[in-house]
Amino acid sequence: MQDRELDSHSSVLLGFMHRFVPAPTGKPRESATLLLLHGTGGNEDDLIPLGKEMGRNFSLLSPRGRVLEGNMPRFFRRLAEGVFDMEDLKFRTEELADFVETSSKEYHFDPGRVVAIGYSNGANIAASMILLCPKILLGAVLFRAMVPLVPEKLPDLSERHVFLSSGRYDQIIPREQVHELELLLRKSGADVTLNWAQSDHSLTREEVIKAKQFLDSHY
Ligand code: MLT
C-alpha cells in the first residue's frame, strides 16, 4: 500500500496551513473526508494519527486555525475562557467553509461527504459550521464541545449524525453547555449520540473507539 505520509506534507490554501491525506484507495472522490480540527495551541499535525485510526477509506483534511492567541493557533477569537468573539466566530466559520469547498476541488474529494472531527476549540468551530453552514458537513464528532452560538434560524440537520462526547469531570465545559448543545442540535433535526467519558478535558481511549464505531455505522 502507498505510504500515506508521503502525500501529506503541509501546504497553504486560502491562507490555511493544512495537510491532506488521500484515502488509502487513492480515490478521494469515492470516500468520505474527515475534516480534522485541533484544539487551542494545536496544529495541522495533531489529529492526523486520530484520523488514521478512524481507518477504512477516509481521506483526511487537517487545517491549522488562523487565529493566534499569543503563539497558540485557534479557529476563532475568544475574549476569555468560554466567552467568544461572535463576529469573529461567524467570519471564521465561513472562511473555514470556503476552505473546505476549495480543498474539495484542489484534492478532488466529494464536498457532499465531509464529516468533521473536532477537539475543544476545533469541536466548537465544527459545531458552529454545522449550525451556520449545514451543507458543508454531513456529520460531526465533537469532543469537548460547548454551544458556540445560537443561530437566528435553526438549520435543517435532518440526515446529519453527531457524536457528542464530553468529559464527566471537565472543568472547562459545564454540563449545562453540553445539554444545551445537544438540545440545539436535536431541535434542528440532527441525530445526536451523547457520550459521557469518565474524564476531564482530555480524551480517553474508550471514546475514540466509540467515535470510530459511530463513523463505521454512519459513513
Ligand atoms: C479551549 O480551550 O479551546 C476552549 O475550551 C474552547 C474554546 O475556546 O473554543
Q: What is the mean pLDDT of residues 8-37?
A: 89
Catalytic status, residue 218:
no
Q: How many angstroms is it from 128 CA to the middle of ligand 1?
A: 13
Cβ 98 vs Cβ 14: under 8 Å: yes
Cβ 147 vs Cβ 132: under 8 Å: no
158 contacts: CB under 8 Å, gap ≥ 6: 189, 190
Catalytic status, residue 201:
yes
CATH number at residue 135: 3.40.50.1820
Catalytic status, residue 179:
no
Under the banding of pLDDT at 50, 70 and 90, the label for residue 25 is: confident
User: Which of 31, 120, 128, 188 does the annotation list as catalytic?
Assistant: 120
5 contacts: CB under 8 Å, gap ≥ 6: none
How far is residue 27's CA from residue 175's CA, in Å, rounded to a whole number? 41
Cβ 117 vs Cβ 61: under 8 Å: no
pLDDT at 28: 75
Segment (H or E) for 115: strand 114-119
Kindly state the cell numbers that stand for 48: 492526523
Domain count, the chain: 1
For 92-108, what is each residue's pLDDT tens digit? 999 999 999 999 999 99
Q: What is the mean pLDDT of residues 23-40?
A: 89
CA distance from start to end of the chain = 22
Q: What is the mean pLDDT of residues 114-141?
A: 98
pLDDT at 7: 54
* Closest residue to atom 5 of ligand 1, CA basis: 120
Instruction: State the residue range of the domain holding 167.
Output: 2-218
Q: How far is CA 185 from CA 29, 130, 177, 201, in A?
A: 28, 9, 12, 21
For 129-166, what is each residue's pLDDT tens digit? 999 999 999 999 999 999 999 999 999 999 999 999 99
Helices (H), the chain: 48-53, 86-107, 121-132, 175-187, 205-218
How far is residue 101's CA from residue 106's CA, in Å, rounded to a whole number? 9
pLDDT at 203: 98
Under the banding of pLDDT at 50, 70 and 90, the label for residue 10 is: confident
Scanning the structure block, which residue is given the C-alpha cell 471537565?
A: 170
User: Which of 98, 110, 201, 218 does the annotation list as catalytic?
Assistant: 201
* Closest residue to atom 7 of ligand 1, CA basis: 121
How far is residue 116's CA from residue 33's CA, in Å, rounded to a whole number? 8
List all residues whose CB is within 6 A of at least one atom of ligand 1.
39-40, 78, 120-121, 124, 172
For 60, the 3-state DSSP assignment is strand
